[in-house]
Structure 1
Amino acid sequence: MKTFITKHKKGIKRMLIGCGIVAALGATVIFGMDAYVVHYAKGYVYETGQENSMPKADCILVLGAGMKPNGEPSLMLRDRLNRAIELYRAGVSDRFLLTGDHGRKGYNEVQGMKDYIMANLDVPEDKIFMDHAGFSTYESMYRARDIFEVHNPVVVTQKYHAYRAVYAARKLGLDAYAAPNKRMKYRNIWICKLREVAARDKEVVNLWIQPKPTYLGDKIPISGSGLATKDTRTDKTERER
């Protein structure tokens, strides 16, 4: 009986050791890929105040971050848009590429982004391009390259997200830099940062496989007119009629 119990305990011990080894290896892979993305991209992330040392960009690429029920940008998105306006005024680029979710009726993230910029900046409307199918960071960068023929964007987002955005852009062949907004504290930001670890790992896999985005379509060169991306059904002036 004692022999059986002893063997049983040894079996459990071996199983626990095996599980521990697997868990350790898994954690090494997860956090290793996360660290790799940050290390790869950190040299391309510019802090506030470094605008004069930034390379000129063919567009200021702003990634969406959600809208309020009333159609206004969320706090995170508003901070991104304000940062983009600062970069425009600093002469980093003379045009915007606003990329976000317009995949369902009644939710048009990019139009809300455009409305905000035009309400807070004297900029020609044809200098604002909207990507209505930027459903993820990866898809936004893929479409920036293949639809809008972007070559060297400056990407605007929060700093924790900037590393993944730059990593994705550069792995897709864009000469991209990031200029994150300066606000660092948001409600439940720790949740966003925790999710970002998994998102970075997923991005590494995405960039290895490089699946096509949800939608492609006709080319709309960033060197042309942003009016080609205007959706008259949801444009602010149309809504007010």
Structure 2
Amino acid sequence: MALTRNSRRKGRGRRFIALVRTAWRIAATLLIAALAWVAVIQWKMATLDQPQLPPQDVGIVLGAALWQTTPSPALKERLNRAVELYRAGTIRHIIVTGGYDRQDSVLTEAEGMRNYLTEWGVPEKVIFLENEATSTYENMLFSQAIMQREQWVSAVIITHRYHVVRALDMARFLGYQAPAVAPMDSDVLMMSWHKSRETLALAKWQWDKLGLVLRKEPA
């Protein structure tokens, strides 16, 4: 009887050790996969570019913070890129997209961007405001509605290099036709922090995207 109990205890002990080892192997595999995914995303952030940018119907400038009524230094970098592309004849229209970024905001991000662009000589008639978006996904979704209304087909996404991977994936998911990108590096942002934050945001977007796909009704 004692031998039988002993054997059972040993059997349970061996099974527990086997389970712990299996759990460690799974955890190690998941960690390696996560690190590899992060490395790929960081590489994409560093290398994604489109040097030969063909003419586009519209440039979509993704919003960022205003300082009171003035674009923040980071947002000015995006807007300066839009001015360059407009002056070069690469884009014929500009969508500025972004709603109120704080409860006490006086202007939407789009309104602040429009004011900055006109100060730099961009005609107001070529600037289209999207005043509702509060996220990158909404930036792309609501800008697409303006494009459809105006019957524009081609678009270039204007944002920082670290941000363009997620924005481009969203545009493709929404059905933009061959969306182009015009990324820029930043002289004012702490890129290590923004790249880390964006990597997490991109992981969240992959999860959100799955949810959007699963919620779609069959055609």
TM-score range, shorter chain: 0.7 to 0.9
1:22 aligned residue: 27
- Contact persistence 2:65–2:101 (CA under 8 A): no
- Amino acid corresponding to residue 177 of structure 1 in structure 2: A
Q: Is the partner of 1:123 in helix, strand or coil? A: coil
| Displacement after TM superposition at 1:24 (Å) | 3.2
TM-score if structure 2 supplies the norm length? 0.75
Q: Cα distance 1:105–1:14, how it changes in 2: closer, same or farther (>3 A)?
A: closer
Cα deviations by residue, 1:33-68 (Å, 9 ceiling, x for unpaired): 8837976xx76x32xxx3xx3122111100012112
Cα deviations by residue, 1:185-217 (Å, 9 ceiling, x for unpaired): 444321111111121122223333338xxxxxx
- Aligned partner (choices 210, 225, 236) of residue 212 of structure 2: 210
1:59 aligned residue: 58
Q: Cα distance 1:71–1:15, how it changes in 2: closer, same or farther (>3 A)?
A: farther
- Contact persistence 1:34–1:200 (CA under 8 A): no
Matched, 1:71 2:69: yes
- How many residue pairs get matched? 199
Larger fraction in helix? 2
Runs of 4+ residues over 4 Å off in structure 1: 7-14, 36-39
Q: Cα distance 1:32–1:181, how it changes in 2: closer, same or farther (>3 A)?
A: closer
- Contact persistence 2:41–2:199 (CA under 8 A): no
Matches within 5 A, 1:126-141: 126-141=125-140
Q: Cα distance 1:73–1:12, how it changes in 2: closer, same or farther (>3 A)?
A: farther
How far apart, CA to CA, are the structure 2 residues paired with 1:207 and 1:38?
A: 22
2:115 aligned residue: 115
Structural RMSD (CA): 3.3
Matches within 5 A, 1:1-241: 11=16, 14-15=19-20, 18-19=23-24, 21-22=26-27, 24-25=29-30, 28=33, 31-32=36-37, 35=40, 45-46=49-50, 50=51, 53-68=52-67, 70-102=68-100, 105-107=103-105, 108-120=108-120, 122-149=121-148, 150-174=152-176, 175-183=178-186, 185-210=187-212
Same amino acid, percent of matched pairs: 30
How far apart, CA to CA, are the structure 2 residues paired with 1:164 and 1:38?
A: 13
TM-score if structure 1 supplies the norm length? 0.69
How far apart, CA to CA, are the structure 2 residues paired with 1:99 and 1:59?
A: 12
Q: Cα distance 1:32–1:157, how it changes in 2: closer, same or farther (>3 A)?
A: same
- Contact persistence 1:103–1:133 (CA under 8 A): no
Q: Cα distance 1:152–1:146, how it changes in 2: closer, same or farther (>3 A)?
A: same
CA radius of gyration, larger in: 2
Name stretches of at least 5 consecutive residues in structure 1 with no aligned partner. Answer: 212-241
| Displacement after TM superposition at 1:151 (Å) | 2.8
How far apart, CA to CA, are the structure 1 residues paired with 2:103 and 2:72?
A: 19
- Amino acid corresponding to residue 117 of structure 1 in structure 2: L
